[in-house]
Structure 1
Amino acid sequence: MRLPVLVFDIETLTDLKSGAHLYGLDLPVADLAQALVKLRRQESGVDFQRLALHEIVCISGLWIDEQGSMKIFSFSREQHSESEILTKFLSIFDKRNPTLVSWNGSQFDLPVILFRAMYHGLSAPSLFDQGEIDQQKRYNNYQNRYHHRHVDLMDIMAMFNGRHFQKLDDVAHLLGYPGKRGDGAYHVPEYVHQQEWQKLTSYCEADVLNTWLVYLRWLLLKGQLLLNDYRDLVQQTIQFLSTQAQHADFLAIWRDTSQRTEFTAVDFISFPTH
Structure 2
Amino acid sequence: MRLPVLVFDIETMTDLKSGAHLYDLNLEQSDLEQALAKLRRQESGSDFQRLPLHEIVCISGLWIDENGTMKLFSFSKENFSEAEILSKFLSIFDKRHPTLVSWNGAQFDLPVILYRTMYHGLSAPSLFDQGEIDTQKRYNNYQNRYHHRHIDLMDVMSMFNLRNFQKLDDIAHMLGYPGKRGESGYFVPEYVKTQQWLKLTSYCEGDVLNTWLIYLRWLLLKGQLLNHDHRLWIQATIHYLQGKPEQQDFLNVWRERSLETAFTENDFSTQN
Give 2:86's aligned residue.
86
- Separation of aligned partners in 2, 1:70 and 1:218: 19
Give 2:217's aligned residue.
217
SS at match of 1:256: helix
Give 1:194's aligned residue.
194
- Separation of aligned partners in 2, 1:84 and 1:6: 19
SS at match of 2:8: strand
SS at match of 1:20: helix
Contact 1:173–1:181 (CA under 8 A) maintained in structure 2: no
- Separation of aligned partners in 2, 1:19 and 1:158: 33
Q: Show the 5 A alignment for 1:36-185.
A: 36-184=36-184
Aligned length: 272
Bigger CA drift: 185-194 or 168-177? 185-194
Q: Which runs of 4+ in 1 moved over 2 A?
A: 181-186
Contact 2:11–2:185 (CA under 8 A) maintained in structure 1: no
Give 1:18's aligned residue.
18
Contact 2:241–2:247 (CA under 8 A) maintained in structure 1: yes
- Equivalent position amino acid for 2:201 in 1: T
Deviations along 1:219-249, one digit per CA (max 9) or x if unpaired, are 0000000000000000000000000100000
Deviations along 1:154-198, one digit per CA (max 9) or x if unpaired, are 000001111110000000000000001333463211110110111
Contact 2:180–2:203 (CA under 8 A) maintained in structure 1: no
- Separation of aligned partners in 1, 2:178 and 2:228: 22
Instruction: State, as a whole percentage, how many aligned pairs show the same letter.
Output: 75
- Separation of aligned partners in 1, 2:264 and 2:19: 45
SS at match of 2:141: coil
After TM superposition, the score normalised by the length of structure 2 is 0.99
Give 2:227's aligned residue.
227
- Separation of aligned partners in 2, 1:184 and 1:261: 24
SS at match of 2:61: strand
SS at match of 1:38: helix
- Separation of aligned partners in 1, 2:216 and 2:183: 24
- Equivalent position amino acid for 1:231 in 2: R
- Separation of aligned partners in 1, 2:100 and 2:182: 29
- Separation of aligned partners in 2, 1:132 and 1:185: 36
- Equivalent position amino acid for 1:54 in 2: H
- Separation of aligned partners in 2, 1:89 and 1:196: 22
- Separation of aligned partners in 1, 2:186 and 2:239: 29
The answer as to 2:254 corresponding to 1:254 is yes
Contact 1:12–1:57 (CA under 8 A) maintained in structure 2: yes
- Separation of aligned partners in 2, 1:67 and 1:252: 27
- With over 3 angstroms needed to count, the CA separation of the structure-2 counterparts of 1:168 and 1:34, relative to structure 1, is same
Give 1:268's aligned residue.
268
- Separation of aligned partners in 2, 1:249 and 1:41: 36
- Separation of aligned partners in 2, 1:185 and 1:127: 26
- Separation of aligned partners in 2, 1:84 and 1:197: 17
- Equivalent position amino acid for 1:81 in 2: S
Contact 1:61–1:73 (CA under 8 A) maintained in structure 2: yes
Contact 2:11–2:57 (CA under 8 A) maintained in structure 1: yes
- Separation of aligned partners in 1, 2:190 and 2:197: 10
After TM superposition, the score normalised by the length of structure 1 is 0.98
Provide structure 2 residue ranges, at least 5 long, that are not aligned to the other structure. none
- With over 3 angstroms needed to count, the CA separation of the structure-2 counterparts of 1:4 and 1:54, relative to structure 1, is same
